[in-house]
Amino acid sequence: MSTPEAEPSADRVSRYAWLALALVLGAVTALYFRALDYPFLDWDDPIYVTGRVALQELAAGHDGALAKLLSPATAWGGDFWEYYPVRDLTYALDVSLGGLQPGPMHATNLALHLLTVLLVFALGRRLGLGPLPALFAAALFGLHPLCVEPVAWISGRKDLLYVALGLAGLLALDRALTMREGGPVWVGWAAAYLAWLLAFGSKGPAVIFVALAAGWVWWRAREDDLPLRPNLVRLAPLAVLATAWVIFSVVLAKQSGVLRAYPDGLVGSWFRAVGAPLRGLLTALVPLDLSPSYLPFARSPWTDPHSWATLALVALVFLWHRRRGPFPPAAVLLGLGALLAVLPTSGVVPVSQPRADRFLYLPLVLLCWLAAWGLQRLTGSLRGGRRVAAVALPLALIAAYTTVTHRYVHAWRGDLPLWEHVYQRDRTHPMANLNLGIEALKRGKLTLARPFFETALKHQPKLVGAWDNLGVTWYR
């Protein structure tokens, strides 16, 4: 039972945490502020933004341009059909306010990231994290290098949007679950449904929030002795809508060719997918090799160390469970949630690009909560110098990540510096060689461009763009 003196102290800590959160938001803004002056990139921006006829017509003030933009008949993304009307609506708002210019679009990306940081803190508090651990989770997420790609890249909008909307839905859900008897519970549920439906219209992987919402309901039932079945029944319509959306998307993706054959066969590809959570975790822990494009896996799935190591970790977790008893509900929720969130990067569904840094934006949220929860448990059992060391280590980690983020943001200031950044880490990277060759071709340096295209084709013979541009160098 708390004493009267302890309650004002707790309030004071909470107020200081909100002030510190404002400082974190300021640090994130300062880190990405220079990106507001960055131009459009040739990396997908012409496909999703600058080359969209409907956006060009909207910028010119043509009647009916918005309806054309949001129509399924004109939805097009890259080499495949995709219909994300909520994402396109945000682009339309940017164009309406500032024209077809990169500055307002970069500002919207940054605003969405700041909103997600705020939601990470607020939901962390509702998960039972203290003010300081929740602040640690928000800072770790907001300043992490894995967030650079979706924030600094205008075409990364859909990842920012679906995660922010999905988290907003979880916050509304938790408020509905914990609302006192007789309160307007339906308002919370309606707000949650609205946020999740908007998330579905932002990017396909948003359907993962159905499973996260079910896990959240289970966790609340365990923590607060709330009824489980009635609240799961309330999620049933959302599950039906998500299933219909998945079927709709898969059918269209199959028709448009975005779904490919499993590169290693069904069994081999699924075995490689087992290693995706560990691969994502290692990328989050040591984000030193980030890239906007990853090479296909070179080795056989049966020699993939990530898959075998993941199976070994699962065995260790099982033995721990047998000896020490069940894990705390919060750890189960966050751990399984991170596994679910990493599914789009696993290769379970054979899409054209299963690996990308931006795909780890949602898993990173859950990993930051899990790290903060572990830190809270650890510091609660330590005293004196050990406790100070346990607090100093996360601060040093955030400082190190911030340094990496600062450097990586600078790489996104244009096509040439971006691909030079990738090339410096791997001189055989096909996409880096292709794009550096294109940049040289733009400047009329044919003899400089030709070796880049030849290197790209040596390591990825089916790279059509490299063949086309290599032909241009010989023709001229």
Judge contact between 107 and 158, C-beta under 8 A. no
> What pLDDT, on the 0 to 100 scale, is given for residue 192?
96
Helix or strand or coil: residue 259? strand
Closest C-alpha to 297, from 339, 231, 345, 253: 345
Question: If you ran DSSP here, which 8-state letter would residue 48 be given?
Answer: I
- Which stretches of 265-348 are DSSP H helices? 265-274, 276-285, 305-324, 329-341
DSSP category for residue 293: S
436: which residues sit within 8 A by CB, 6+ positions away? 416, 419, 420, 423, 452
Q: Tokens at residue 220, please? A: 């609340």
Q: Which amino acid is at 175?
A: R
Which pLDDT does position 2 carry in this prediction?
42
- Give the whole-angstrom CA distance, residue 401 versus residue 287: 8
Whole-angstrom CA distances from 270 to 243, 274, 277 are 21, 7, 13
At 262, is the secondary structure helix, strand, or coil? coil
pTM over 0.85: yes
For residue 259, which phi and psi values (nearest 5 degrees)?
-80, 125
Q: What is the DSSP letter of 297?
A: P
Amino acid at 167: L
> DSSP 3-state helix, strand, coil percentages of the chain (rounded to 5)?
75, 0, 25
Residue that has been written with the tokens 């896990």 in this structure: 215
Interior/surface letters 332-365, b for 16+ CB within 10 angstroms, e for the rest: ebbbebbbbbbbbbbbbbeeeebbbbbbbbbbbb
- Give the pair of three-digit tokens for residue 30: 């300062």
d(CA 18, CA 14): 6
Q: pLDDT value at position 259?
A: 65
- The b-or-e profile of 136-165 (16+ CB within 10 A means b, else e) is bbbbbbbbbbbbbbbbbbbbbbbbbbbbbb
Report helix, strand or coil for 123: helix
pLDDT tens by residue, the chain, 476 residues = 344 444 445 556 567 888 899 999 999 999 999 999 999 998 889 988 998 888 888 888 888 888 888 887 776 655 556 788 999 999 999 999 888 999 999 999 999 999 999 999 999 999 999 998 999 999 999 999 999 999 999 999 999 999 999 999 999 999 999 886 556 888 899 999 999 999 999 998 899 999 999 999 999 999 888 889 999 999 999 999 999 888 877 777 676 666 666 777 778 877 887 888 888 888 888 887 788 877 666 677 788 888 888 889 888 888 877 787 778 888 888 888 888 888 777 777 666 666 778 889 999 999 999 999 998 988 877 777 777 887 888 899 999 999 999 999 999 999 999 999 999 988 888 889 999 999 898 888 888 899 999 999 998 888 888 898 888 888 76
CA dihedral 209, 213, 216, 221 (to 10 degrees): -170
3-state helix/strand/coil string of 219-231? HHHHHHCCCCHHH
Q: CA 440 to CA 436: how far, in whole Å?
A: 6
